[in-house]
A and B are shown apart, each in its own frame.
Chain A
């Protein structure tokens, strides 16, 4: 009995090894094919000849969770006499392989800025037919021709936000520099142990790069090293490197200065008893502006419905309805006056974007240099 079971075990191991190799081969071949198809196939072509408001089937939207009111989506479907479904994803990295494998069945997807660049390079999203999206003229000038889609042929912004600093003025007062010195300079020494920075290599090193006057998309190792040393020097004053609950740490009083995403911070402020005690701003040296975008996959089954949906969301009323529900920024200049007052004030106040529109950058994919950012951040956190 022991002998046979051992033989069986060895057999089993051999089979498993063979199967594993086969599975790997199969998946490798599969993905090669897909890349080839996508690159040489529909990718990059324009979905030709959709009329304004034309639908060629039901809408399948692939979006982040809680990013559009389900009733708002139903209103679109009702207006055009189709049905609409939304499937949700939790990261760009989950969304990407679903699309690249092909036949995902989605008509509109919502990739973030850097992911748009990756999907254009791979041929995974198609050129938009702007004749079918006349409302695209409502796109605010600040968002035209972004670095990740320089000719603005493949994507239109969906919602956006900043990364900057949030300060509890009840603790810090209002007389502080609107500068990254608040966390990286001597000023921070007065609030040691009450400051958080995002636990994200690109955001936090990006803040340090901006503080030093460089681009946050730099691929210069020397500039990156300086940023690393700046973050490393600031570490002594930190409560934590924290991304998921930095806004909550601020409003619960554990921190008084926090490196945060604007949308999270803003909704968090509104939950407190006295929202006016908190201030969010992008320091004068500049910061990050993230933009999520609408795009159409290369093999979308209903490209005309997709164009119609994008055009519909660029309508002034619909754009405002979208932002008034999810409370992120709208890239639609016709919608701004229709926003809730507090949201409008937050988005347009010159006190928020201290350095002006030219001071902010979107995070771009730096290719192989991403590893250098990750390594530098690890060293900075030491």
Chain B
């Protein structure tokens, strides 16, 4: 705990007001989630009406074929898009951080684009792109188009995380390795990669979570029966909200939380080590 000498902690009533404020903010964030979890165990079709504790909704989730298929689709797409975007994102980060070349600024800006443009804009652009491309290449929308779209936005997030890590490591380490007769590949494999691994892992888990959660882009580029879990669940709302949706949300919430937690952990543990 290193507190800088110039700043004193607030005292007295002011401190209590700040504390209360912090708790209120946390309550505002997390109470809805707590309610969502509680009502996923409610034995009543109506969300928000408590009808005794039950695991029926989780059982229904486990027996609902379309939902399970959608979950399988989501996992396949997430696995494929994460693998590809981690490799490409890391390569992009290395290129932009370690080398100077013509058009670097351009690629830099290009990489941030998917992060800042609204999802729906990206979704429509993707849709038009795939529709036009299909005229020439003759593929149909489905696994490939969803995976490509997810790769397209995940690369940016991966490379931003990896670059942050790269910026904090000393380029001289690689130079030193090569002075000691390591080849470029060996220097990368035994020096650079282990150093940036927390960033790569963190970026990868972020990409995985984003892919599992995406609704807006996926629903525009899907086809051929490739419903992903969040898109399918969103569609169920038309038929009324039952605690089944809570149960599905809780499972997704737990999975996402575990992934984000792992991502933070990976960055902290490795990040704490002296490089």
Which of A's residues lie within 8 Å of B, judged by CB?
Answer: 8, 11-12, 15-16, 19-20, 23, 26-27, 30-31, 34, 60, 64-66, 70, 85-90, 94, 97-98, 101-106, 244-245, 247-248, 251-252, 264, 267-268, 271, 301
**Chain A min CB distance to B48 (Å):** 8
B186 within 8 A of A: no
When distances are taken between beta carbons in the complex, the residues of chain A under 8 Å from B124 are: 27, 97
When distances are taken between beta carbons in the complex, the residues of chain B under 8 Å from A245 are: 46-48, 240-241
Contact A271 B45 (CB under 8 A): yes
B194 within 8 A of A: no
In the complex where A27-B124, A103-B131 touch, is A88 in contact with B141 (Cβ < 8 A)? no
Contact A248 B238 (CB under 8 A): no
A70 to B236, CA, bound (A): 15
The one of A11, A23, A66 that contacts B125, using a Cβ cutoff of 8 Å: A23
The one of A19, A103, A244, A247 that contacts B109, using a Cβ cutoff of 8 Å: A19
The residues in B between 219 and 243 inclusive whose CB is less than 8 angstroms from any CB of A are 219-220, 222-227, 231-232, 234-241
Contact B234 A70 (CB under 8 A): no
When distances are taken between beta carbons in the complex, the residues of chain B under 8 Å from A15 are: 105-106, 109-110
B256 within 8 A of A: no
Q: 0/1 per residue, B77-119, Cβ < 8 Å to A?
A: 0000000000000000000000000000110111011001100
Contact B105 A8 (CB under 8 A): yes
Contact B239 A66 (CB under 8 A): yes
When distances are taken between beta carbons in the complex, the residues of chain B under 8 Å from A267 are: 240
Contact B128 A101 (CB under 8 A): yes
When distances are taken between beta carbons in the complex, the residues of chain B under 8 Å from A26 are: 125, 128
Contact B128 A104 (CB under 8 A): no
A16 to B234, CA, bound (A): 33
Contact A88 B106 (CB under 8 A): no
When distances are taken between beta carbons in the complex, the residues of chain A under 8 Å from B234 are: 90
Contact B238 A90 (CB under 8 A): yes
When distances are taken between beta carbons in the complex, the residues of chain B under 8 Å from A20 are: 117
When distances are taken between beta carbons in the complex, the residues of chain A under 8 Å from B231 are: 88, 90
Contact B105 A251 (CB under 8 A): no
Interface of A is mostly: helix
A11 to B106, CA, bound (A): 8
In the complex where A87-B223, A105-B224, A271-B45 touch, is A34 in contact with B109 (Cβ < 8 A)? no
Which of B's residues lie within 8 Å of A, judged by CB?
Answer: 45-49, 65-66, 105-106, 108-110, 112-113, 116-117, 121, 124-125, 127-128, 130-132, 134-135, 140-142, 219-220, 222-227, 231-232, 234-241
Chain B residue at minimal CB-CB distance from A24 = B121
When distances are taken between beta carbons in the complex, the residues of chain A under 8 Å from B49 are: 248, 252
The one of A16, A27, A65, A264 that contacts B236, using a Cβ cutoff of 8 Å: A65
Contact B224 A31 (CB under 8 A): no
A30 to B66, CA, bound (A): 34
**Chain B min CB distance to A104 (Å):** 6
Contact B128 A85 (CB under 8 A): no
Contact A106 B125 (CB under 8 A): no
When distances are taken between beta carbons in the complex, the residues of chain B under 8 Å from A16 are: 109, 112-113, 116
When distances are taken between beta carbons in the complex, the residues of chain B under 8 Å from A268 are: 45, 240
A34 to B241, CA, bound (A): 37
When distances are taken between beta carbons in the complex, the residues of chain A under 8 Å from B110 are: 15, 19
Contact B128 A90 (CB under 8 A): no
Contact A60 B223 (CB under 8 A): yes
In the complex where A12-B105, A64-B235 touch, is A30 in contact with B223 (Cβ < 8 A)? no
Q: Count chain A CB atoms within 10 A of each CB in B112, B131, B140 and give the residue with the most.
A: B131
Q: Count chain B CB atoms within 10 A of each CB in A19, A89, A101, A251 and give the residue with the most.
A: A101
Chain A residue at minimal CB-CB distance from B141 = A105
Contact A12 B65 (CB under 8 A): no
Q: Count chain B CB atoms within 10 A of each CB in A34, A70, A94, A267 and give the residue with the most.
A: A94
Contact B134 A103 (CB under 8 A): yes
In the complex where A102-B135, A105-B140 touch, is A97 in contact with B220 (Cβ < 8 A)? yes
Q: A15-B105, A244-B240 are in contact. List 7 more A-B contacts (CB 8 A).
A: A27-B124, A66-B235, A87-B222, A87-B223, A104-B223, A105-B223, A264-B240
Contact B131 A64 (CB under 8 A): no
In the complex where A8-B105, A16-B109, A16-B113 touch, is A87 in contact with B227 (Cβ < 8 A)? yes
Contact A98 B225 (CB under 8 A): no
A301 to B237, CA, bound (A): 30
**Chain A min CB distance to B64 (Å):** 10
Q: Count chain B CB atoms within 10 A of each CB in A27, A70, A87, A264 and give the residue with the most.
A: A87
A104 to B131, CA, bound (A): 7
When distances are taken between beta carbons in the complex, the residues of chain B under 8 Å from A102 are: 131, 134-135
Chain B residue at minimal CB-CB distance from A105 = B140
Cβ contacts A to B, 20 pairs, < 8 Å: A11-B105, A12-B109, A26-B125, A66-B235, A66-B239, A86-B227, A87-B224, A87-B225, A98-B127, A101-B130, A103-B140, A104-B141, A105-B142, A105-B223, A245-B241, A248-B46, A248-B48, A248-B49, A267-B240, A301-B140
When distances are taken between beta carbons in the complex, the residues of chain B under 8 Å from A247 are: 240
**Chain B min CB distance to A89 (Å):** 6
Chain B residue at minimal CB-CB distance from A252 = B49
Contact B232 A65 (CB under 8 A): yes
Contact B135 A103 (CB under 8 A): yes
A303 to B112, CA, bound (A): 42
When distances are taken between beta carbons in the complex, the residues of chain A under 8 Å from B46 are: 245, 248, 251-252
Chain B residue at minimal CB-CB distance from A83 = B225
Chain B residue at minimal CB-CB distance from A91 = B238
Chain B residue at minimal CB-CB distance from A326 = B239
Contact A65 B238 (CB under 8 A): yes
When distances are taken between beta carbons in the complex, the residues of chain B under 8 Å from A66 are: 66, 235-236, 239
Contact B47 A248 (CB under 8 A): yes
When distances are taken between beta carbons in the complex, the residues of chain A under 8 Å from B223 are: 60, 87, 104-106
Q: Count chain A CB atoms within 10 A of each CB in B105, B134, B142, B240 and give the residue with the most.
A: B240
